[in-house]
Structure 1
Amino acid sequence: MNIKSHVPNTITLGNLFCGCIATVYAFQDTATHPDHFEMAFLFVGLGIFLDFFDGFFARLFKVSSPLGLQLDSLADMVTSGVTPGVTMFFLLRNASGMPEDSLFPYLGFLITLGSCYRLANFNIDTRQTDSFIGMPTPGNALFILSLPLVKLGDSMVLLELLTNHWVLLGITLFSTFIMNAEIPLFSLKFKKMTIKDNLLQISFLLLSLLMLVFYTYLGIPLIILTYVFLSILNNKLRKV
C-alpha cells in the first residue's frame, strides 16, 4: 500500500470535518453561545488551510487523482458552501424587524446554491488551472463568515447596515453572482521571482496585511472586495 497516495485525501477529509464542526457552531443559539460565529469562522479558516495543503501534497507526492478532485469539491461544498449559507440564514433571521415566521431568511441559502454551481463548473472548466474566473468558494466563505464578527466592533453605522435585511440580501445576491461571474481574477502565485513580474501580487498582499492589522475582521471583506476591484482594473489595463 502506498501511504503517500492517501495523505492528500486524508487532509481533504480533515477539511470536510472542519466544515461539519463549523456548520454546527453556525447553528448555535446566540444567547447560550455568544462566540458561535467566531468558532464557525475559526473552523472554516482551518478547513480552507487544509484545502490548500491537500493539493500541495498531491503535487508534491505526484498522487493527484480524479477521486481527490471529487473529494476536494465535496468537502468544499460543506466548508465553503453550506456553512456560509447557514450563517447568512441566521443573519437574515436575526435582522432588525424580521418576523419570526418569515420565509425571507431562507434566501440566504442562495449562497449555498451558488457555491454548488461554482464548484461543479470549476471541475469541468479547463481555463482555471493557474488562475480563477469568478470568486473561489473559500474566499467567498471567509467574506460571509466575517460579517457577523464585524458587528463586534463599535461602529453603529456598520451595525445598522449588517442588521438590515435588505443590505444582507444584497450581499447574498452579490456573493452568489461574484462566484459565478465571468470575471478573471489575477493569480496570487509567484510564477517569476522578480518584483516587476509580481508587483500586483506583492502590492495586494501588503495592502491585505495592513487592512487586517488596522481593521481586523472588517479587513477580511475589504480584502475580498479589493481583490475583485483590482482584478477588474487589471483586466481593463491589459486590454488597453
Structure 2
Amino acid sequence: MKKAIPNTLTLLNLLSGLIALISIFNGYYDHAFLLVCLGIFFDFWDGFLARKLNVQSDLGLQLDSLADMVTSGVVPGMLLFKLFETIQQNQPDYMLTEETYYMGIVPYLGLLIPLASCYRLANFNIDTRQTNSFIGLPTPANTLFIMSIPMIQYVDNYQWLTDALNNPYLLLVITLLSCYLLNAEIPLFSLKFKQFTWKEAKLQILFLIFAIVLILLLSFVAIPLIILSYIAISLVLNTFQKK
C-alpha cells in the first residue's frame, strides 16, 4: 500500500499532462496551464512521499520520468507548435510567405522542446551528480516558463509584453534557449524539499517566499521572472562556492 501512494501520484501527473494536451488542441490554453500546474504539484509530492515512506524504487524513478516526459516535455512543445500556427494565421506578415511557414520550417520547431526534455530526463536518471541539486534547468521549471506565455495576455497593463510574445522570432529564441538550458552544464540548486526544516531548506523556503510575493504583485508575468531569477541566483551561488 505504501508503494502505491507515490506511484499513484505519478500517474495523476501523467493524467494531468494528457488532459492538458487535449486542452491545447481545443484552444483552452488557460485550462492547459492549470492542468500542468496540477501535474507539477503531483510530481513534487510523489518524490517527497516516496522518501518519507522509504519506498523509493527503480519503478518509481522510471514512472516519474515517463510522466514528466508528457507533462513537462510534450505539453510545452505542443503549446509552442500551436502558438506558432496561431501567429501565422493572425499576423502573416511576419514570414515571407504562408507557404514557407507551413512547409514544416517554423511551427514544428516547437517540437524541439520534447526532444531536449527527453534527453534531459534520460540523462538525469543516470547522472549521479544530480541527487541533491540539478545540472541544467529542470523540465517542470522550463514548462512553467513556456506555459505562462499565453497567460500573460490576461494581465492588465502588459499589452506591450503580449505583443512582443506574439512575435515568432522571439518565440523561436525562447525555444532554442530552453533547449540549451535544459541540458547545459549549469549547476542549479534543488527546488524540492528534502526536509521541511529551516536548517535543511533555508534557500528553498526563501525562494518560495520570493516567488509568492512576485506572483501576488505581477500575476502571470511573475512566472518567467521567477524562472530567470532561479537561474541567476544559482549562478551567483556557484560563483561564491568556487571562491
| TM-score using structure 2 length | 0.88
Per-residue deviation, 1:141:
0.8
> Cα offset for 1:6?
1.6
Pair 1:89 & 2:81 matched: yes
Aligned equivalent of 2:130, options 128, 131, 137:
128
- Residue in structure 1 matched with residue 102 of structure 2 by the alignment: 101
Which whole-Å deviations, capped at 9, do the CAs of 1:68-94 have from their partners, x for residues lacking one?
A: 111110010000000000001111111
Q: Distance in 1 between matches of 2:166 and 2:57?
A: 44
Q: What's the CA shift for 1:163?
A: 0.4
TM-score scaled to structure 1, two decimals?
0.89
Q: Distance in 1 between matches of 2:202 and 2:64?
A: 31
Structure that is richer in helix per residue: 2
Indicate the larger mover: 13-22 or 202-211. Answer: 202-211
Deviations 1:12-41 (A, max 9, x none): 111111110011101113xxxxxx111001
> What is the deviation of 1:194?
5.2
Letter in 2 for 1:37: Y
- AA in 1 matched with 2:231: V
2:18 aligned partner: 20
Instruction: Give the deviation of 1:190 after TM superposition.
Output: 7.1
Unpaired runs of 5+ in structure 1? 30-35
Q: 2:63 aligns with which of 71, 81, 93?
A: 71
Deviation at 1:201, TM superposition (A): 3.8
- Does residue 57 of structure 1 match 2:49? yes
Equivalent residue letter for 2:85: R
Root-mean-square deviation (Å): 1.9
Question: 2:215, 2:222 within 8 Å by CA — same for their partners in 1?
Answer: yes
1:171 to 174, 193, 208: 174
Instruction: Give the share of equivalent positions with the same residue, in percent.
Output: 51
Match status 1:232 vs 2:235: yes
Deviates more, 1:48-57 or 1:211-220: 48-57
Aligned length, in residue pairs: 231
Listed as ranges, the gaps of 5+ residues in structure 2 are: none
Cα drift, residue 202 of structure 1: 4.4
Counterpart of 2:208?
Answer: 205
Q: Which amino acid aligns with 1:148?
A: P
Is contact 1:94-1:163 (8 Å) kept? no
Q: Distance in 1 between matches of 2:233 and 2:129?
A: 20
Tell me what 1:5 maps to. Answer: 3
